[in-house]
Amino acid sequence: MKKRFLLVTATCLLSACVTSPTGRKQLMLISPEAAIVESRTAYLSTVSDLGSKDKLSNDKVLARRVADITGRLVSVAVAEYPQSANWEWSVALVDDDKTVNAWCMAGGRMAVYTGLFKQLKLTDAEFAQIMGHEISHALANHTAERMSRAMATTLGVVAVGAMSENPNMTMSAAGMAATLALELPNSRTAELEADQLGLEIATRAGYDPDAAVSLWAKMGAVGGGKSPPEFLSTHPAPQNRQAALAAMALEVRKLNPQGKLAPIHPVQILTAESR
């Protein structure tokens, strides 16, 4: 029985590899569809909690700006990745000037903190780079990949528990999976992949790719203080990131040399007024 369990576990791990949009092999024990369902539940709960604490912004001008820029990026995403056409694209505008952060869950559900604009004085092109990066995490199924990493770890613990016949170890594995799925950051590889895809999306949408370099210069300056931005805790910034982005910008500019702006795809902006 123990050998059979280990064989099934190994088979699951070996047969669950898929290919990302950049050609990278991904371990995918959780389907992208399942990740979207789980993300929807978590997102609605998060937005509801923010609303009840009066943490959603009522800045109509900023909401319009976010909708327009994000909408152009989404129009490119839908054109390049048709599977995202039916996603519930939305952005929660969080009223928190002290937090420099943005994120995107599976299925195109996003959040942007007002601290990004307050502290970084973002240009439209710089904001497009942030959102292009975040949207790329969803398009490349990084949420499902992160959940799969958690499941793989759990399967390993369960296997050890089965071999040792230790029920406490086996039972603790389920809780470990849930915790890891929520707390694991994206891998460094996934971050670099989102850099590449995000730069391409923003450029196709009509935004200057050089803004990726100026964005990270600003991010690094803010991160040089005692309290680095929340964004940097989940988006590791190696020393050569700006150089790598500058090199990529030279190539991706060819995708839209005239900087023609893409049409605006409808994106729901969740504010204090929209609740």
Residue 67 lies inside a defined structural domain of this protein: yes
Residue 177 lies inside a defined structural domain of this protein: no
pLDDT value at position 25? 78
Residue 64 lies inside a defined structural domain of this protein: yes
Please say if the pLDDT value at position 109 is more than 90. Answer: yes
pTM of the full structure:
0.81
Q: Which domain, by its residues, includes 37?
A: 32-142+185-270
Q: Collapsing DSSP states into helix, strand and coil, what is residue 37? A: helix
User: Which two tokens mark 176?
Assistant: 């470990």
Residue 159 lies inside a defined structural domain of this protein: no
Residue 221 lies inside a defined structural domain of this protein: yes
Confidence band (pLDDT; 50, 70, 90) for 237? low
Edge-to-edge strand ranges of the sheet holding 90-94: 102-105, 109-113, 90-94, 268-270
Rounded CA-CA distance 238/189 in Å is 12
The one catalytic residue in 33, 38, 80, 134 is 134
Residue 23 lies inside a defined structural domain of this protein: no
* Residue 200 falls in the annotated catalytic set: no
Residue 26 lies inside a defined structural domain of this protein: no
The domain total for the chain is 1
Per-residue pLDDT reduced to its tens digit, 153-210? 655 444 444 444 544 443 344 444 444 444 555 677 888 899 999 999 999 999 999 9
Residue 12 lies inside a defined structural domain of this protein: no
